[in-house]
Amino acid sequence: MSKKTVVDNKKPVVTRPAAHPSKAPTSHQRTATADAAPLAESAKPTAAEAAPAVASAEPTVADATPIAVEPEPEPVPATPAIQAVADGRKRVIIEGVVPEIDGGRFPIKRTVGDTVLVEADVFTDGHDALSCVLQHRRVGESHWQEVPMRSLVNDRWRGEFQVLDLGRHEYTVTAWVDAFKSWRHDLERWVQAEDIALSLRSGAELARKASRRAQGEDAKWLAKRAEDLAGSQDLEYRRQLGLDEEFARHMMRNADRSLALSYDKALGVVVDDERARFSSWYEMFPRSCAAAPGKHGTFKDCEAWLPRLAAMGFDVLYFPPIHPIGRVNRKGKNNTLTPMLDDVGSPWAIGAAEGGHKDILPELGTLDDFRQLVSKAKEHGIEIAMDIALQCAPDHPYVRQHPDWFRWRPDGTVQYAENPPKKYQDIYPFNFETADWQALWIEIKSIFEFWVQQGVRIFRVDNPHTKPFAMWEWLIADIKKTTPNAIFLAEAFTRPKVMHRLAKLGYSQSYTYYAWRNSKWELGEYLTEVCQGPGREYFRPNFWPNTPDILTEALQHGGKAMFMSRLVMAATMTANYGIYGPAFEMMEHLAVKPGSEEYLDSEKYQLRYRSFQDLEGPNSLHAFIALVNRIRKRNPALQSDWNLRLHQVDNEQIICYSKATANRANVILVVVNLDPNYTQAGCTQLDLEALGVDPNQPYQVHDLLTGAHYVWHGPRNYVELNPHRIPAHVFRIRHNLSADCDFDPFGG
């Protein structure tokens, strides 16, 4: 304990002068992890330094009254508030960093070659100039790469970097008070010769210090510049040396960062393969791909489909589960509970005597046959996507080997899947609250690892929202450590927050509500959310107009025009889209009963033979689908989600939107009639700036669906669409009318 000072109350007491306020540490909110350490002993203020300044009302030496001064008290420890400041000289504040997901809890998503644009609020007290850099690296690397950030307005700074490698990257923002920038700013403004001369002496000292930090040629160059600034040559000449851009570059490379401060966290970026950003999916049941009616299809039969799917422009072929199908409680045609002997059951009722999730349904072929199909598909530019459904048929080996992985009812039976009033007697869900949950998680991960070893890297996961979030975060991260190009599609038609959580924790793409967004307002609101909202940093929408589970009322009653318009919108609104292929090609639209979205004679429960002749005949959309996919692949504007812009049309039955590359070299304008029955017309009110169009010049719109060309002027132009001919325009904007003699029919 320090000694108490004893003072004679009759005598005035002198309070020792406090340290100058500019020398006292200031307490401010910590913004960098590095600043969390306590003050070093040598940096702690004394009690006197910590005390506030006192008005000078004390007696002076000239006072007649004697002054009694006790010995100086022992220093007292710094207050906790000051101890929390690692170095009070670090005055920069960094906040408002974007993109940042949930305070840095989750990474953003990009694909190889993308640019990550980062902004932050960076400022300090007073008027000193700042320097700010954006730092980035692959996770695990020790060295940061960096690019300078540029000041915008209102203390906002921006920088960007490109990600060139698959895997996990990280970035942060670092800034410091830049004495050289402040000096240079003042040097430009001094007028009096004595002020300029003194400033040049200060600049010379800054250059000398920088030369001591620098190495090699930079050190020599800066030392010479210091001599020149302090020399005897003409004052204005030396001032120009101080303002020289080359001098500024040398000083920036060798800046004094001893008081630099970094943002308090490194923010993550998951960099995926390009197919995570742009893909065209075709779903089909391999068991329905036989070359003749009445036969069970095989992987060998599927090989014959590859050339036509490649010609149609699809690059992902997605199979429902290909594993042994349970026999206990097997479902019959149209989901009946009384199957016939020849009924094949639902592929989602996984597991039987022949095996489970790591085995092949014998009727489809062997594991070698599957590997060959995967290889053949890649030769055609197609990748096989597998459906992973984490559930079991009653006769799955897991039920016998791990009974504690399932819920047991009081009557001694296993709880089957239910979604009242629906019952799924042929499916047992896992009990993720089992005491043996760790072994269950490990086994589930091993399922994905097994199929990765067979050449599969794209997984469509069935109902992931009914499994623990923590498991998915761990599993996906672990898989991507060894297979960074793995892609996970979440089949989660559920609440928005749940869908977004799955995307944050690792799912590459997600199914969406697109199938049920029909009106112009519904579509516009949804597109604004998924393409322009904050979720776009991690949520990649995949638009499907139909699935084996979803035959919407619009498709049931809208006829060919509805199938065409829904296809065009799915394929041009988002960069990832898919169709339940054969059913969509043939425009199958009969539901099992009124009010249901289930297909009549659904392939989920039976074989459905379709010949190539029918699939490519006059009652098929085969050629139209192929055309739309060619347009997608030849126009890079359609290969991103972020660039979608809505445009006004004075008709609620017509929606209009555009996509453009950043340099406006490729601009696509889409106009769709949402009414499948009647011709609709209206006038557009286009955002010409978004289209890269000069408002004072005419421009050409080339319809890539029909080949027609029109010359338009300004934002307001007439459109008319007869759904019985074609319900949409997909225009390529041509800014140079003289180039109309040299055009690609698909806009390439």
CATH number at residue 701: 2.60.40.1180
**Peptide bond between residue 421 and the one before it cis (omega within 30 degrees of 0):** yes
The three-class DSSP label of residue 681 is: strand
| Residues 86, 97 within the same domain | no
| Residues 418, 398 within the same domain | yes
Q: Model's pTM, two decimal places?
A: 0.86
**Structural domain that includes position 674:** 639-739
Region 264-270: mean pLDDT is 98
Asked whether the predicted pLDDT for residue 54 surpasses 60, the reply is no
pLDDT for res 82:
62
Domain end, chosen from 613, 634, 655, is at 634
Helices (H) then strands (E): counts for the chain: 21, 30
Does some domain include residue 746?
no
pLDDT for res 372:
99
DSSP state of 112: T
pLDDT for res 419:
82
Does some domain include residue 219?
yes
Does some domain include residue 747?
no
Q: Which residues are catalytic?
A: 462, 491
| Residues 132, 6 within the same domain | no
Asked whether the predicted pLDDT for residue 41 surpasses 50, the reply is no
Distances (CA, A) of 589 to 560, 600, 722: 10, 8, 22
Query: 500-503 — which CB contacts under 8 Å span 24+ positions?
Result: 500/535, 500/538, 500/539, 501/469, 502/464, 502/465, 502/469, 502/472, 503/535, 503/538, 503/539, 503/540
CATH number at residue 193: 1.20.58
Least confident of 235-239, 518-522, 565-569, 742-746: 742-746
Region 252-279: mean pLDDT is 97
Is the pLDDT higher at 212 or at 73? 212
Pair 493, 505: CB distance under 8 Å: no
pLDDT digits (tens, 9 = 90+) for 229-239: 999 999 999 99
| pLDDT above 70: percentage of residues in the chain | 87
| Residues 336, 423 within the same domain | yes
DSSP state of 54: -
Domain end, chosen from 634, 665, 693, is at 634
Distances (CA, A) of 201 to 156, 206, 728, 736: 33, 9, 71, 57
Query: Mean pLDDT for the chain?
Result: 90
| Residues 455, 583 within the same domain | yes
Does some domain include residue 338?
yes
Distances (CA, A) of 731 to 280, 470, 542, 637, 706: 20, 45, 23, 12, 10
Does some domain include residue 114?
yes
Does some domain include residue 285?
no
DSSP state of 65: S
| Residues 568, 704 within the same domain | no
| Residues 572, 516 within the same domain | yes
| Residues 300, 222 within the same domain | no
Does some domain include residue 282?
no
For residue 736, name the pLDDT band (cuts at 50, 70, 90): confident
Asked whether the predicted pLDDT for residue 739 surpasses 60, the reply is no
pLDDT digits (tens, 9 = 90+) for 662-691: 999 999 999 999 999 999 999 999 999 999
| Residues 663, 690 within the same domain | yes
pLDDT for res 423:
87
| Residues 705, 728 within the same domain | yes
Domain end, chosen from 207, 239, 271, is at 271
| Residues 616, 645 within the same domain | no
pLDDT for res 32:
39
Interior angle at CA 324, CA 318 and CA 325, nearest 5: 95
| Residues 421, 357 within the same domain | yes
CATH number at residue 150: 2.60.40.10
DSSP string, 383-438: EEEEEE--EE-TT-HHHHH-GGGS-B-TTS-BPPEEETTEEETT-EE--TT-TTHH
Does some domain include residue 493?
yes
pLDDT digits (tens, 9 = 90+) for 621-650: 999 999 999 999 999 999 999 999 999 999
pLDDT digits (tens, 9 = 90+) for 587-605: 999 999 999 999 999 999 9
Name beta bridge partners: 282.
317, 579
pLDDT digits (tens, 9 = 90+) for 385-409: 999 999 999 999 999 999 999 999 9
Domain count for the chain: 5
Least confident of 58-72, 109-123, 435-449, 725-739: 58-72
Lookup: tokens for 701:
């719109």
